[in-house]
Amino acid sequence: MSHPHLAPLRLNGREIGPRAIMAVVNRTPDSFFDKGATYAFDAALAAAGRAVEDGADIIDIGGVKAGPGEDVGVTEELRRVVDLVAAVRDLHPGVVISVDTWRAEVGEAVARAGADLLNDTWGGPDPRLAEVAAGHGIGLVCSHAGALDPRTRPHRIGYADVMAEVIGHVTAEAERAVALGVRRDAILIDPAHDFGKNTRHSLEISRRLGEMTATGWPVLVAVSNKDFIGETLGRPVDKRGAGTLAVLGVSAWLGARVFRVHDVPAARRALEAVQTLAPGP
C-alpha cells in the first residue's frame, strides 16, 4: 500500500487523518437507509452524540434526501439543519461538522452556525457554494455527479472513461475553489459512487480509486449501503453491511482518507484492520 505523501487536511483547527470517519446524520423523513429514524431534532442530536462517542471524527448533517422524492425548498432545508448544527457545535466543540448541501444559501447559514465543511455531493450545481466556503474559511468537498440536476437519477448514462471523467471534474472544481480563496488544506475530492453513475461505473471507480488518491487531493468515499453494493451482491438495503465494509477496506488500501458511513464502530474496526495489515499512513 504505497501512496504519495499525504497532503495536509485541516478542519476545525486540527489536522485530520490519515483516516477519518464521517458519520451520517440525516434530518430527513425519507432517508433511503434509516427511513426517518433521525428526522426529529432530539433524535438527530442524540445520533450525533453517539457517533462522537463511537469515535467519529466528522458529523455529516443532511436535510435533503439524495434521491428523488418530495420537494424540499431552501426554507425547509434551513429549518432542518441550521439549529442542529448549532446544537452539535455547542455540545461537541472538538468534532468537525459537515453539512451535506449543494445550496449556497444553506452553506452560508450553516457556516454561521458553526459548520466546518460543506459537502456538495452534486458536483457543483451552485458555483457560489465555493465562495461561501472561502468567505468563512471552511472546507469544501468537490464531487462528481455527471452534471445531473440534484436529486435526479441517470438514464442510460455513459462515459468513455469514467475515472478520467471523475478526476478531471473534481480536480478542476478543487482548483477553482482554491482560486476563490478556499484553503487548499480544507478541500477533499469525492468520486460520488452512484451519483450520475450506474453500478458498473461505481465498481470501476472503486477498483481504480488509487488513480484519484494519486492526484494528491484527500479523497472522501461515501459508499455506505449504496445501491451499487446491493445490486452487485443481490442484497437489500438493510443487508449491505458486509459489502460496505469490503469496499471501505479496498478504498482505505488504495489511499482514501475520509469514509462517510452509517455504522461508525464497524467502519472503525475495518479501518483498524487495514492499518494493521499495512502499517504506515
- What pLDDT digit, counting tens, does each position of 40-90 carry? 999 999 999 999 999 999 999 999 999 998 999 999 999 999 999 999 999
pLDDT at 6: 81
Q: Report pLDDT for 27.
A: 96
Q: What is the mean pLDDT of residues 206-235?
A: 97
Q: What does the pLDDT read at residue 279?
A: 63
Position 280 scores a pLDDT of 56
Domain boundaries, the chain: 19-277
Q: Name the percent of the chain lying above pLDDT 70.
A: 97
Q: How high is the pLDDT of residue 128?
A: 98
- Which of the two residues, 34 and 159, has the higher pLDDT score? 159
Asked: is 19-277 a CATH 3.20.20.20 domain? The reply is: yes
Beta bridge partners of 140: 118, 187
Q: For position 2, what pLDDT does the model report?
A: 45
Mean pLDDT of the chain: 95
Stretch 186-204: mean pLDDT: 97
Percent of the chain with pLDDT over 90: 89
pLDDT at residue 31, as a whole number: 86
What number is the average pLDDT over the span 169-178? 98
pLDDT band at 5 (very low <50, low <70, confident <90, very high): low
Query: Is pLDDT larger for residue 17 or for residue 89?
Result: 89
Crossing angle (nearest 10°) for helices 162-180 and 199-207: 70
Give me the pLDDT at residue 17, please.
82
Cβ-based neighbours of 249, under 8 Å, separated by 6 or more = 270, 271, 273, 274
pLDDT at 35 (0 to 100): 80
* Section 95-109 average pLDDT: 98
Please enumerate in sequence order all residues whose Cβ is within 8 A of that of 77, keeping only pairs 6 or more positions apart, or say none: 63, 64, 101, 103, 106
Q: Output phi, psi for 32, to 5 deg.
A: -65, -25
12: its cell numbers = 476545525
Instruction: Please give the model's pTM, rounded to 2 decimal places.
Output: 0.95
CA distance 109 to 113: 6
Which tens digits make up the pLDDT trace of 252-277?
999 999 999 999 999 999 999 999 98
Tell me the average pLDDT across 92-119: 98
Indicate the Cα dihedral angle 18, 19, 20, 22, nearest 10°.
140
22 in Cβ contact with 259 (< 8 Å): yes
Closest alpha carbon to 58 in 90, 101, 94? 94
Q: Which three cell numbers stand for residue 107?
A: 452553506
Measured distance CA(280)–CA(193) in Å, rounded: 27
Distance (Å, rounded) from C-alpha 177 to C-alpha 195?
A: 21
Please count the other Cβ atoms lying within 10 Å of the Cβ belonging to residue 60: 26
pLDDT at position 81 is: 98
Among 153-157, 195-199, 221-225, name the one with the lowest average pLDDT.
153-157
Confidence (pLDDT) at 33: 86
pLDDT at residue 1 is higher than 70: no
| Angle value at C-alpha 147, between 26 and 228, nearest 5 degrees | 55
Confidence category of residue 32, pLDDT binned at 50, 70, 90: confident
- pLDDT band with cut points at 50, 70 and 90 for residue 102: very high
